Amino acid sequence: MAVRKIKTVYDVVCPFCGTLCDDLEVDVVDNKITEVRNGCQIGTKKFFASNPSEHRYKTPLIKVNGSFKEASWDEALDKAADILVKAKRPLLYGFSSTECEAQSKGVELAEILGAILDNTASVCHGPTILAEQDVGVPTSTLGEYKNRADLVIFWGCNPVHAHPRHLSRYSEFVRGYFRKDGRNDRFIVVIDPRNTHTAQIADLFIQVNPSEDYGLLNAIRAILRGVELDEKEVAGVSMENIKELADKVKSCNFGVIFFGMGLTQSLAHHRNIDAAICLTRELNDHTKFLITPMRGHYNVTGANQVFTWITGYPFSIDFSRGYPRYNPGEFSSVELLLKDQVDASLMVSTDPASNFPAASVKNMFKHPLIAIEPHETPTSVNADIILPPAYAGIECEGTAYRMDSIPLRLRKVKDAPNGLLTDREILERLIEKVKEKKGE
How far apart CA 354 and CA 38 sit, in angstroms, is 29
3-state SS string for 141-177: CHHHHHHHCCEEEEECCCHHHHCCCHHHHHHCCCCCC
Least distance (Å) between residue 98 CB and ligand SF4:
15
Count of beta carbons in the 10 Å neighbourhood of residue 365: 16
Is residue 291 at the binding interface for ligand SF4, with CB under 6 A as the rule? Answer: no
User: Which of 33, 43, 293, 423 contacts ligand SF4 by CB under 6 A?
Assistant: 43
How far apart CA 267 and CA 208 sit, in angstroms, is 13
Q: Are strands 317-318 and 61-64 parallel, antiparallel or unpaired?
A: unpaired
Q: Which residue from 430, 353, 412, 371 is spatially nearest to 68, judged by alpha carbons? A: 371
Least distance (Å) between residue 211 CB and ligand SF4:
28
User: Which of 34, 35, 42, 376 contacts ligand SF4 by CB under 6 A?
Assistant: 42
Task: Tell me whether residue 12 or residue 206 sits nearer to ligand SF4 (CB atom).
Answer: 12
User: Which of 1, 6, 16, 55 contacts ligand SF4 by CB under 6 A?
Assistant: 16
Stretch in the footprint of ligand SF4 (CB under 6 A) among 12-20, 48-56, 200-208, 387-395: 12-20
Stretch in the footprint of ligand SF4 (CB under 6 A) among 9-17, 55-63, 99-107, 197-205: 9-17
DSSP per position, 171-212: ISS---SS-TTGGGG-EEEEEESS--HHHHT-SEEEEPPTT-
How far apart CA 274 and CA 165 sit, in angstroms, is 28
Q: Which residue from 105, 112, 102 is spatially nearest to 319, judged by alpha carbons? A: 112
Q: Which residue from 150, 82, 141, 126 is spatially nearest to 291, judged by alpha carbons? A: 141
User: Which of 12, 20, 149, 426 contacts ligand SF4 by CB under 6 A?
Assistant: 20
Binding mask 124-163 for ligand SF4 (x = CB under 6 A): ---------------------------------------x
In Å, how far from its chain's centre is CA 269?
Answer: 17
Is residue 76 at the binding interface for ligand SF4, with CB under 6 A as the rule? Answer: no
Least distance (Å) between residue 359 CB and ligand SF4:
31
Give the H/E segment covering residue 358.
Answer: helix 358-366
Inter-residue contact 340 to 363 (CB < 8 Å) = yes
Residue at shortest CB range from ligand SF4: 43
Least distance (Å) between residue 197 CB and ligand SF4:
14
User: Which of 26, 28, 33, 40 contacts ligand SF4 by CB under 6 A?
Assistant: 40
Task: Tell me whether residue 103 or residue 299 sits nearer to ligand SF4 (CB atom).
Answer: 299
Binding mask 163-182 for ligand SF4 (x = CB under 6 A): xxx-----------------
User: Which of 12, 19, 291, 379 contacts ligand SF4 by CB under 6 A?
Assistant: 19
How far apart CA 390 and CA 420 sit, in angstroms, is 6
Binding footprint of ligand SF4 on the chain (CB under 6 A):
14, 16-17, 19-21, 39-40, 42-43, 163-165
